[in-house]
Amino acid sequence: MLPDLIATREQLRDGATTAPAELERCIDAAQTTSNTHSFVRTLFDEARTTAVQPGVAQLPLAGLSVSVKDLFDVAGQPTPAGSTALAGAPAAAQDCPAVARLRAAGASLIGRTNMVEFAFSGVGVNPHYGTPAAWDARFGAVPGAPRVPGGSSSGAGVSVATGAAFIGLGSDTGGSIRIPAALNGIVGFKNTARLVPTAGAVPLSTTLDTACAMTRTVRDAIVAHEVLAARRVTRSLAPLSQYRLAVPSTLFLDGLDATVARAFERSVEALRQAGAQIDTIDLPAVLEQPAYGFAAPEAYAWHRELLQRTGDRYDPRVRMRIEKGATLMAWEYIDLVQARQQWIARMLSDMERYDALLSPTVPIVAPLIADVAPADGLDKVQDAARDAEFFRVNNLLLRNTSVVNLLDGCALSLPCHVPGELPVGLMVWHGALRDDTVLNVSLQIEQILQK
C-alpha cells in the first residue's frame, strides 16, 4: 500500500525524506505506462519549483504532489474540460478558488488530469485524449484487459491510485469523484456542495456540481477537505458502537454483481462484529426526473452558443445528452426544483435518526474499456451495440451515487475489497452538512476493514 499524505508529512518532519524527493517519486509514477492517458498536461518543472520553496514543508500539503482535473482554471493555462471544442480559448487569468487554496496550502501541482468531455458521464471514456485504465484492473493482482477508470474524474482517480498524486482534485455532479474512487480502490469524498466554491470550473450542473477530491486514505480526505473548504473538521473519538447506522434496501442493493455483493455483505458483517449498530431500512423512491434531470438543461444553457460554433467537435454521446436539455420546458424545470425539495424533506425525515447510511458505491465492478469505448464508425451494428452498452453501464455506475447529489448530501467512498478481487467501494453518506460525521464514521470503518 502506498504511503499516504499524512505519513509522508511525518517523514518530512522527521527528516527521513524531503518534498523534492517525494515529488520526483510522483513524477516517475506519472511517466510510467500505468498513467497512460491520465494527464492531458504535465507541470513537472512548476511543481519542482514549488517543492523547494522555503517553508513549504511546514504547510498542510508540504510541497507534495496534487493533480487537477482539466475543468478547473489554473492561471496562465487554457481550461479545455476534456474537449477539443474549446481549442483556441484564452488562458485563465487566475486560479479558481479550489486551486488557489491548494497552492496556498503548499501543493505542488503535477499536472492537469484527463476527464470525460465536459464531465458528462460516469464511465470515464474520452475519445479525444484516450481513456486511462483502472489501476488495479490493469496493473494490480487481478489479470485481464484494461477496464474503465470511472468518470468523470478519470485521470484524477488513476493519478492517485498509481502514486502520481497524493490528492486528485475533481468534481462530483452525480458521482464523478466516488465512482473512480471505487473502481480504482482509493478514497473519494463528496462534501456538501456549498462548502467548496465551484467558481472557475467549467460547469455541468449548477445545481449539483461539487468541487472535491480523491485521496489514498480517509485521514487524507479530511486534510484535503479542510484545505478546499477552508474549515476545520470537528473530530470525534466516539467508538463506532455509539453511531447508529443504516443500510437502505431501496434501490441501492438492486442488481449487485457477485463481487460487489460479496464485498459489501462481508464489510457490513465485519462492522457488526466490531460493535456497530446497523439497521436495514426502506427509503422513499428516488425522485423521478425528466431525461438527464438537472444536468442536461443546465449544461445546455452553458453550451448552446458553443454548440453552434464547434458542435461537430463534441463526443456525439455527450452532445446528444446536452442537446436533450433544450427540450425541457421552463414549467417542467420549476416543477423539478420544487419536487426535489419535497423529496429531500421526505428522505431526511426517514434518515434523521441515523448518523450515516451504508451502501455499495456502485453496483458493478469496472467493465472492460473495449466493451464501451466508441467503435470505429464503420460498422453501424457494432457502433449501436457499444453505445447501448455504454449507456447501460453509465446508468448503473451513476445509480447509487447520484442519489446523494439529488439529496444535496455528502458521501465518502472507501475500498472494501480484498486482494484478488476487483476494486469495490463502500459508500458512507447522509444529507447536507453532515460532512464531519460522515468523515469520522468513515475513518473508523476504514480502520476496521483494514484489519
Residues recognised as catalytic: 69, 152, 176
Cell 468531455 belongs to residue = 117
Q: Please, what sign has the CA dihedral across residues 35, 39, 41, 44?
A: negative
Q: Is 96 within 8 Å of 344 (Cβ atoms)?
A: no
User: What is the SS3 assignment for the chain?
Assistant: CCCCHHHHHHHHHHCCCCHHHHHHHHHHHHCCHHHCCCEEEECHHHHHHHHCCCCHHHCCCCCCEEEEECCECCCCCCCCCCCCCCCCCCCCCCCCHHHHHHHHCCCEEEEEECCCHHHCCCCCCCCCCCCCCCHHHHHCCCCCCCECCCCCCHHHHHHHHCCCCCEEEEECCCCCCHHHHHHHCCEEEECCHHHCCCCCECCCCCCCCCEEEEECCHHHHHHHHHHHHCCCCCCCCCCHHHCEEEEECCCCCCCCCHHHHHHHHHHHHHHHHCCCEEEEECCCCCCCCCCCCCHHHHHHHHHHHHHHHHHHHCCHHHHHHHHHHHHCCHHHHHHHHHHHHHHHHHHHHHHCCCCEEEEECCCCCCCEHHHHCCCCCCCHHHHHHHHHHHHHHHHHHHHHHHHHHHCCCEEEEEECCCCCCCCCEEEEEECCCCHHHHHHHHHHHHHHHCC
C-alpha grid cell, residue 80: 479545455
Cell 477530491 belongs to residue = 213
Dist CA 327 CA 300 (whole Å):
10
Burial 301-311 (b: 16+ CB within 10 A, else e): ebbeebbeebe
Give which of 311, 283, 260 is closest to 423, Cα–Cα: 260
Dist CA 118 CA 83 (whole Å):
7
Q: Is 200 within 8 Å of 98 (Cβ atoms)?
A: yes
